[in-house]
Chains A and B, each alone.
Chain A
Amino acid sequence: MNIDRQFSNDKPIYVQLVQRIKRLIVSGALQPGDKLDSVRDIALDAKVNPNTVQRAFSELERTGLVYTQRTSGRFITDDVQLISDMRQELATEEIEMFFENMKQLGFDDAATIKMVKEKNHEHS
C-alpha cells in the first residue's frame, strides 16, 4: 500500500490520509475484502504519527468503507454498492471544485460546460 508522503499544509493530516485511502479504494488499487496494512506500518511508510493513522482509520470505519475484525486486522468492505456510492461522491466533489476554480478564472457554468465539450471533441 503506497501512500504519498507529501501532505499539504491547510488540512489536518488525518483528513488527507482519509482522502488518499478513499481514492485507493475507489480506483481499485485496494480491492474489496483486501487487508489494510497495520497502523504502525502505514505510520512508518508515510512518516506520520501512529495516532494520526489511527484517527484516519476510525474515520473510514465510520463511513463503513473499512471494518475491523478483532483478531485479524482491518479490511476493505465487501459492499460494492458502498464503494460505488463513494466513487460518485468523490466525483461530485471533484466536479464542484472544478466549477469553483473555473469561476475564479472568470468562466460561468455554461461557458465551462461549453469548453469541456469542445475539449472532449478534440480528444475523440
Chain B
Amino acid sequence: MSILNCENLSKAFGRKVVLNNVNLSIEKGRIVGLLGPNGSGKTTLIKIINTLLVPDCGSVRVDGLELGIETKGIVSYLPDRECLPDWMSVEELIQFYCDFYEDFSKEKAERMIESLNINIKEKFRKLSKGTREKVQLILVMSRNAKLYLLDEPIGGVDPVTRDYILSSIIASYNEEATVVIATHLINDVEKILDEVVFIKAGEIILHDSVDNIREEHNMSIDEKFREVFR
C-alpha cells in the first residue's frame, strides 16, 4: 500500500510554475531520494505534503488520508533551514516535541543527545551549526512516524556530521516507515536509497529503483543524474 500519493499536483508562485502536474506514488518501507538541482521544486513538493503550502490544484494523500491534522501526526519533517525556537534549551526542545507529538520517544532523543555529548541544558542558539543540525535531525528521527520528509539533511555539514546523519537515518529505519530525502548531494546518499525520483523544472522525469538503474545503465545514480541534468 502506498504511503504517499500525489495526483496532478501543480503550484505556481505568481507566474513562475514550480510544480507542473506531478504524479508520485511511494510505497511503505522505502528510503527514497528526491533528487534534483536547486530550484527544481523539491522543497515546494515537500512543503505541500507537510501542508506548509497549499497547491494550486491536485491532491495529496498520506497513508490514504487527506492532508490535515491526522497526516501531520504521522509525517515527521526536517526543513531545509533552521526553524527551531532558538530561545529554548535542548532539553526544552525535547519537551516541546514530546508535548506536541504522540509518537515522539523522549528516551530515544535523550539517548542520542547524550551519545553526542551535547549539553542538554545549553540554549539551542549557543550550539555550533553542525550540532544544531544534529539536534534538529535527532528530534525529527526520534518520532515514530510513518513518513519522514528530510529536506537537505546533509547540506552544508562537515563529512563527520554527514556520516552521523546517514547512520541515524539507517538506524531509525523500519519496514513500516518511509523516508524521503530531498537533496542534490547524490553521491553521499546514493548507497542508502531504495529508489530515486528525479525532478527537473517541476516535473518528475524518472522514478525507479536504484538497483534497476545500476543494472540497466551500468552507472551509479550520480552518473545517471549528471547525464540527465547536463
**Which residues on A are within 8 Å of B, measured CB to CB?**
7, 9-14, 40, 43-44, 46-52, 55
Contact = CB atoms under 8 A, between A and B. Distances in A.
Contact of B215 (A9, A12, A49, A55): A12
27 contacts: A7-B191, A9-B219, A10-B218, A10-B219, A10-B220, A11-B214, A11-B215, A12-B214, A13-B210, A40-B170, A40-B171, A43-B170, A43-B173, A44-B167, A44-B170, A47-B166, A47-B191, A47-B192, A48-B191, A49-B31, A49-B170, A49-B192, A50-B173, A51-B30, A51-B31, A51-B194, A52-B191
A7 B30 CA distance: 21
A15 B29 CA distance: 21
Contacts of B30: 51
B27 to A, nearest CB: 11
Contact of B192 (A10, A11, A48): A48
Interface string B189-219: 0011110000000000000001100110011
Given A48-B170, A49-B210, 14 more contacts: A9-B219, A11-B214, A13-B210, A40-B170, A40-B171, A40-B173, A47-B163, A48-B192, A49-B191, A49-B192, A50-B170, A50-B173, A51-B194, A52-B211
B222 interface: yes
Nearest to B171: A44
B214 A13 contact: yes
A112 to B, nearest CB: 26
Nearest to B31: A49
B175 to A, nearest CB: 9
What 10 A-B pairs come out closest when comparing CB atoms? A9-B220, A12-B211, A12-B214, A48-B191, A10-B218, A49-B192, A43-B170, A51-B194, A44-B170, A49-B31
A107 to B, nearest CB: 26
Given A9-B219, A40-B170, A49 B194 contact: yes
Interface of B: 29-31, 163, 166-167, 170-171, 173, 191-194, 210-211, 214-215, 218-220, 222-223
Contacts of B31: 49, 51
Contact of A12 (B171, B210, B222): B210
A51 B31 CA distance: 9
Contacts of A11: 214-215, 218
B191 A51 contact: no
A76 B170 CA distance: 25
Nearest to A14: B211
B200 to A, nearest CB: 22
A43 to B, nearest CB: 5
Contacts of B214: 9-13
Contacts of B194: 49, 51-52
B174 to A, nearest CB: 9
Contact of A47 (B29, B170, B218, B222): B170
Nearest to A50: B173
Contacts of B192: 47-49
Contacts of A10: 214, 218-220
A11 B220 CA distance: 8
